[in-house]
């Protein structure tokens, strides 16, 4: 999988163990790819939200940690059947990751 381009990112540290990363990614060139959160050693939870309105070609985004490391996130855009990966009209998205 290719790496997504970060449009913006913001890392916030809280008292205690956790940090929160909010990253805007450019999905214009990739519909399936990876996102590395360099500021964290471990990501414990990650969520994705599409920036634009959903369409039949690109209806939602799934974000999860990869099997090999918890600092690299797998990001996949899906069509409106929620099974088929988008191959056209990719959209931008926001990713929120919690980790330490």
CATH number at residue 16: 2.60.40.3940
- pLDDT the model gives residue 97: 93
pTM recorded for the entire structure: 0.82
Which structural domain range is residue 58 located in?
A: 2-99
Residues (pLDDT < 50) of the chain are 1
Structural domain count, the chain: 1
What pLDDT, on the 0 to 100 scale, is given for residue 29?
Answer: 60
- For 16, left (φ over 0), alpha (ψ -120 to 50), or beta? left
Q: How many CB atoms lie within 10 A of CB 53?
A: 8
C-beta atoms surrounding 17 within 10 Å: 10
Burial of 91 (0-12, 13-18, 19+ CB in 10 A): buried
Let me know the angle formed at the C-alpha of 14 by 13 and 19, rounded to the nearest 5 degrees: 45
pLDDT in tens, 50-68: 998 888 888 889 999 876 6
């Amino acid at each position: 999988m290719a790496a997504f381009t970060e449009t913006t990112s913001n890392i916030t540290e809280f008292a205690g163990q956790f940090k929160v990363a909010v990253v805007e990614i450019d999905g214009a060139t990739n519909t399936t790819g990876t996102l590395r959160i360099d500021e964290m050693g471990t990501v414990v939870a990650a969520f994705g939200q599409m920036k634009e309105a959903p369409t039949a070609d690109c209806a939602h985004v799934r974000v999860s940690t990869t099997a090999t490391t918890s600092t690299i996130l797998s990001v996949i855009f899906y069509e409106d059947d929620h099974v088929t990966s988008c191959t056209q009209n990719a959209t931008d998205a926001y990713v929120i990751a919690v980790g330490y």
